[in-house]
């Protein structure tokens, strides 16, 4: 045996950037994450050629899943052409040969920061959410070792308490995005900073979702058909953003989550946050034969 037999021919990068051992670790942790929905699984989190906090956790999960026949969509704040989404998408296709798409319907793998597309995801699609802070208890307990014990004890009283205090002070729950949710009746998770509008999309969904925080080295999952219940009080129902009646000033579409664009001289206009849904709606309005998928919300309401 020589040193040469222990190594392999030099190559600039492995397929999909991550080497075999990094992928194996991710696979093991992704399986554990599926087995205990909503429970944060620690992983080593390799350094990747992007800064921490810029989607490195999502990137590692996506890189583990990628194959040449994958079709990847990457969005940031709902937009495919957002600078960091463009950067991640081009990296993914460059290291894997996978096809890129903007169309939710065409994607097999969707990596997203802060949004879940408006078109319903199917059983054959996997959603990967980038997570800045995986710990829903951070506002009440910044120490991760203590927070771990609280999860072990299902000790979520202090989280309920801050929601209750918000109601007392402000007359409503003031939590914006990252609304904490109880998964499979056992673990409270943060769904990443998706708006409240998107959280019900994870409840009893058709698709599998991975949530991965590269900097904080934690990943968790919401398998299909898993209960995801926002923490609410029985007499104060869960309230999504009041966007149902807003209309996109570009596409004319109404009933979805919108970006507000402040205007000179006061007032605002709104545009669809799911940018490619907007593009498709415009194309269809202009007479093109474009398929729009079924959406989670219908007429601004989430059917139950």
Residues from 241 through 280 that contact another protein (CB under 8 A): 241-243, 245-247, 249-260, 263, 267-270, 273, 275, 277-279
Closer residue to another protein, CB minimum distance, 31 or 161: 31
Number of residues forming the site for another protein (CB under 8 A): 149
Binding mask 106-135 for another protein (x = CB under 8 A): -------xxx----------------x---
Q: Do 58 and 105 meet the contact criterion of CB atoms below 8 Å apart?
A: no
Q: Among the candidate windows 7-15, 156-164, 229-237, which touches another protein by CB under 8 A?
A: 7-15
Considering the complex, state which of residue 34 and residue 106 has its C-beta at the smaller distance from another protein. 34
Binding to another protein, residues 149-168 (CB under 8 A):
149, 151-153
Q: Which of residues 173-202 bind another protein (CB under 8 A)?
A: 173-178, 184, 186-187, 193-197
CB proximity list for 292: less than 8 A, separation 6 or greater: 119, 277, 280, 281, 284
Q: Distance of alpha carbon 243 from its chain centroid, rounded?
A: 20
Which part of the chain contacts another protein (CB under 8 A), choosing from 43-51, 157-165, 229-237?
43-51
Q: Does 45 bind another protein (CB under 8 A)?
A: yes
Which of 71, 86, 106, 162 binds another protein (CB under 8 A)? It is: 86
Query: For residues 215 and 51, what is the distance between their CA atoms, to the nearest angstrom?
Result: 9
Other residues' Cβ atoms within 10 Å of the Cβ of residue 148: 15
CB under 8 Å to 141, separation ≥6 — which residues?
A: 147, 150, 158
> How far apart are the C-alpha atoms of 111 and 146, rounded to whole Å?
31
Least distance in Å: CB of 70 to another protein? Answer: 10
Q: Which residue lies nearer to another protein by CB, 160 or 183?
A: 183
Q: Quick one: which segment of 42-50, 157-165, 230-238 binds another protein (CB under 8 A)?
A: 42-50
Residue found under tokens 């579409």? 253
Choosing from 59, 76, 131, 200, the residue that interacts with another protein (CB under 8 A) is: 76
Say if residues 113 and 75 touch (Cβ distance below 8 Å). yes
C-alpha radius of gyration, the chain, whole number = 20
Q: Identify the CA nearest to 213 among candidates 67, 29, 31.
A: 29
């Amino acid at each position: 045996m020589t040193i040469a037999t222990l190594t392999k021919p030099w190559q600039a990068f492995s397929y999909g950037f991550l080497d075999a051992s990094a992928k194996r670790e991710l696979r093991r942790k992704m399986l554990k994450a599926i087995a205990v929905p909503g429970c944060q699984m620690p992983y080593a989190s390799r350094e990747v050629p992007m800064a921490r906090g810029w989607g490195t956790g999502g990137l590692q999960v996506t890189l583990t899943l990628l194959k040449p026949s994958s079709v990847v969509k990457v969005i940031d704040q709902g937009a495919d052409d957002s600078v960091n989404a463009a950067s991640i998408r081009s990296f993914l296709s460059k290291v894997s040969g996978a096809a890129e798409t903007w169309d939710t319907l065409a994607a097999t793998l969707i990596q997203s920061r802060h949004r879940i597309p408006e078109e319903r995801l199917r059983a054959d699609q996997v959603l990967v959410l980038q997570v800045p802070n995986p710990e829903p208890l951070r506002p009440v307990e910044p120490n991760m070792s203590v927070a771990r014990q609280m999860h072990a004890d299902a000790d979520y009283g202090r989280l309920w308490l801050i929601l209750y205090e918000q109601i007392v002070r402000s007359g409503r729950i003031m939590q914006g995005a990252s609304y904490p949710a109880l998964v499979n009746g056992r673990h409270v998770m943060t769904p990443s900073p998706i708006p409240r509008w998107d959280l019900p999309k994870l409840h009893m969904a058709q698709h599998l979702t991975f949530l991965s925080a590269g900097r904080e080295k934690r990943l968790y999952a919401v398998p299909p058909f898993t209960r995801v219940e926002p923490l609410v009080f029985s007499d104060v129902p869960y309230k999504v953003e009041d966007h149902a009646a807003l209309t996109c000033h570009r596409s004319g579409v109404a009933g979805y989550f919108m970006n507000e664009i402040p205007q000179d001289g006061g007032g605002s206009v709104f545009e669809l946050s799911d940018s490619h849904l907007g593009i498709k709606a415009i194309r269809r309005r202009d007479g093109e034969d474009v398929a729009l998928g079924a959406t989670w919300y219908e007429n601004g309401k989430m059917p139950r």
